[in-house]
Amino acid sequence: MEIIVEDVFLSNLTMNLAILFFTRSVTSNNAKKIGIILVAIVVSVISLFYPLFVMSNFATIVVKLLLGAGIVLTAFKIGNIKNFLYIYLIFMLSTAVFGGLSFAIVFLVNGTSANPFDMNAQSLPLAVIYSISILTVMLVKSLVKKTKKNMLSSQLTYFVTLSSGKVSQKFLAFLDTGNTLVDPATSKPIIMISASVFEGLFGKKSLIDVFLKRYDNLCVEKPHLVNVSGVGKESKIFVFELSKATILLDKKTKDINCPLAGLSFSSFEHLGCKGLLNPLMLID
């Protein structure tokens, strides 16, 4: 069987990019786009050597499952085993759907179940197959995002993007009616964020510096401590200023310049979020 290397590489690269970016969007993962592109290129190169190996069906399934796990671990930011399994499941389902669409298109056009990636087995151009598949995936993606957005709004959960210079972090924040924390010096409301969001903005070294109270080493804007009164005790939280906050509401976005954020070492995972949104931040 004649194999055209350029066609195989480009077709696999297109498919890999579509699946990876679809997975990134659905899972709301903060993986860098350049990292995803590099992983897609490497996997596409590996696919060129796949025909050289003769394996049983069982071995093929095992190899593909392991390769899928490797792709997820290298392309996406993984917080814990639960997060890995979630992203891995979405990635593998997306791969199955994408491949199934390609076979369905060939069957509807040619009336055969020929391999859509074998250009000698069917007459439909590969570019057409991928174009229709990608458009279908994009449609499914938009429907998933809209459904997810409606569900989050009903649960008082919103997507928030915090920016510090050119670095940004997008995450889910729970609208906490109990979070009425305001900076006494500026009267600005404070959004509480998890350690993982802070690390994504400033790096692990800065997170360690805060934990060890080495505030002089930090490269953050206007760092200071704010007193928080609790039941029978008083504590301090580390507060700092960011460049911008963008909150995704039902039908629009709300931008806040120079917002204040407070670092919390408590886990918000039981809420499925990485931040606690101050209700005052939604008031115009």
What's the CATH number where 241 sits?
A: 2.40.70.10
SS3 for 148-164 is HHHHHHHCCEEEEEEEE
- Which amino acid is present at 147? T
The closest of 147, 162, 120 to 247, measured between CA atoms, is 162
Q: How many CB atoms are closer than 10 A to CB 168? A: 17
How many folded domains does the chain comprise?
A: 2
Q: What is the Cα–Cα distance from 210 to 216, expressed in whole angstroms?
A: 10
pLDDT tens readout for residues 72-111: 999 998 878 888 898 999 888 888 777 666 666 655 655 5
**Confidence (pLDDT) at 38:** 93
Residues 22 and 139 in one domain: yes
- 27-41, 104-118, 147-161, range with the lowest pLDDT: 104-118
Q: Are residues 68 and 114 in the same domain?
A: yes
Q: How far apart are CA 59 and CA 31, in angstroms?
A: 30
Examine the fold and report which residue of 92, 121, 150 is the final residue of a domain before the chain moves on: 150
CA atoms of 230 and 267, how far apart (whole Å): 18
Residues 138 and 159 in one domain: no
What is the arithmetic mean of pLDDT over 209-226?
83
Mean pLDDT of the chain: 78
**Mean predicted confidence (pLDDT) in 157-171:** 89
* Confidence at residue 1, expressed as pLDDT on a 0 to 100 scale: 43
Give the mean pLDDT of 211-216.
80
Same domain (yes/no): 63, 118: yes
pTM for the full predicted model: 0.51
Identify the pLDDT of residue 2.
46
**pLDDT at residue 119 in the model:** 47
Regarding whether 162 and 244 lie in a shared domain, the answer is yes
Sign of dihedral through CA atoms 68, 72, 74, 75?
positive
User: Tokens 């990292």, residue?
Assistant: 35
Same domain, 100 and 190: no
Q: Supply 248's token pair.
A: 């995704």
Which domain covers residue 72, as residue numbers?
A: 5-150
C-alpha 191/C-alpha 182 separation (Å) is 9
Q: What is the pLDDT of residues 33-61, one digit of tens each?
A: 899 999 989 988 887 777 677 777 788 78
Residue with tokens 């959960």: 157
Higher pLDDT, 149 or 249: 249
Residue 7 has pLDDT above 70, yes or no: no
pLDDT of residue 269: 62
Residues 141 and 262 both lie in one domain: no
Confidence (pLDDT) at 249: 81
Same domain, 104 and 10: yes
| Span 114-135, pLDDT tens digits | 554 454 445 555 556 566 666 7
Residues 253 and 209 in one domain: yes
When pLDDT is averaged across residues 145-158 and rounded to a whole number, the result is 62
Packing angle of the helix pair 5-27, 33-47 (nearest 10 deg):
140
Residues 45 and 114 grouped into a single domain? yes
Looking at the structure, do residues 144 and 162 belong to the same domain, yes or no? no
Distances in Å between the Cα of 30 and the Cα atoms of 14, 138, 254 are 21, 19, 20
